[in-house]
Structure 1
Amino acid sequence: MTRLEAFPPIATPEAKILILGSMPGAASLGAQRYYAHPHNQFWPIMASLLGFDPTLDYASRCDRLNAAGIAVWDVLKSCNRQGSLDSAIERDSIVVNDFSHFFTTHPKLQEIFFNGSAAEQLFRKHVAISILPGRLRLQRLPSTSPAHASLRPEAKLQHWRQALQAVRQ
């Protein structure tokens, strides 16, 4: 089984929103960037919500997230997994990212959005709720992954728009 290592977060200390995935998929790991699969809706959704061109280079898209006060990370720091599916993660191989440190160094966080149910389940199971700052709200949103095909991209966008608008008001 292959040992996978996740990326550092896209974040500034000014971040107010943290979007958490579970673990990068094979396309993202190969490209060494978040949400690199061409059919993942993350970047088109963010581009629509924040008003930028989704074809901008990766660094520019990350800059746009940072400017909007949005951080991106994954629940898992490392794990063993074949392929890209969350269901293939070997549960006894899970190592979680250091959220205690992250919350300390990002004191303006108000909201955590889970990019799908797997991210939420992994976070709730493996991250000590006692380290959560009291001001943080947690909300699961539909996964932007192409594996989550039960919702059309337009419906995913609408869910994400409603959540982001509620926080940014």
Structure 2
Amino acid sequence: MTKLLNLDDAPARKRCFDPVVDARTRLLVLGSLPGEKSLALQEYYGNRQNRFWLLMSEVTGLDLVRLDYSSRLEALLGKHVGLWDVVAEAHRVGSLDSHIRNRNDNDLLALLASLPALTTIAFNGGTAARLGLAVLGQHAARYRIVELPSSSPAYTLPYAEKLQRWQVLRGY
């Protein structure tokens, strides 16, 4: 017996946010694709269990956690840090990167070409790094590449170890 596809069972198509960058961006942090809570809030790293804002507070020396979302983005730009995602859109049930299917990647090369001050690209997590480096190909050699442990609560590395690895961004 053939099971008919129920469209309600198909994973929803998720879309990333616009990049947060300007011409002064020197460090670009790339994630994979926003999770469910982030998409619902329409905020990068909107899941309060995600340690991104806490980690970046330590890196930048700013208390980003206490700021409202738009002020967080302004503060990052003020420190010459930009945000975006490698995946433009994909089907995904839930928030786990391992559930990303049928993805379309962002045009990272076009974005990088628009950032004259960019020197460093940091990948937030293994999936972002694997997919992003494939998109960048030989162009990755133009930049300092930093592969970071994911700030996601799904990546269970203790916070102190994540922080130690994220501190390398202080120099950029």
Taking structure 2 as the reference length, what is the TM-score of the superposition?
Answer: 0.89
Partner of 2:90: 79
Partner of 1:113: 122
User: After the TM superposition, which residues 10-49 of structure 1 pair with which residues of structure 2 at under 5 Å, given as runs?
Assistant: 10-49=20-59
* Secondary structure in 2 matching 1:118: helix
Tell me, yes or no, if the aligned pair for 2:27 and 2:119 is still in contact at 8 Å: yes
Tell me, yes or no, if the aligned pair for 1:24 and 1:34 is still in contact at 8 Å: yes
User: After the TM superposition, which residues 18-167 of structure 1 pair with which residues of structure 2 at under 5 Å, given as runs?
Assistant: 18-53=28-63, 54-90=65-101, 93-125=102-134, 127-130=135-138, 132=139, 134-149=141-156, 151-161=157-167, 163-167=168-172
For residues 129 and 135 of structure 1, the distance between their equivalents in structure 2, rounded to whole angstroms, comes to 10
For residues 9 and 22 of structure 1, the distance between their equivalents in structure 2, rounded to whole angstroms, comes to 13
For residues 64 and 52 of structure 1, the distance between their equivalents in structure 2, rounded to whole angstroms, comes to 8
Map Cα deviations across residues 20-76 of structure 1 (whole Å, 9 max, x no partner).
Answer: 100000010000010011110000111122222212100111111101111111001
**Count of residue correspondences:** 161
Tell me, yes or no, if the aligned pair for 2:133 and 2:140 is still in contact at 8 Å: no
Partner of 2:16: 6
RMSD: 1.3
Identity of aligned residues (%): 38
* Secondary structure in 2 matching 1:9: coil
Q: Any gaps of 5 or more consecutive residues in structure 1?
A: none
Deviation at 1:128, TM superposition (A): 4.3
* Secondary structure in 1 matching 2:121: strand
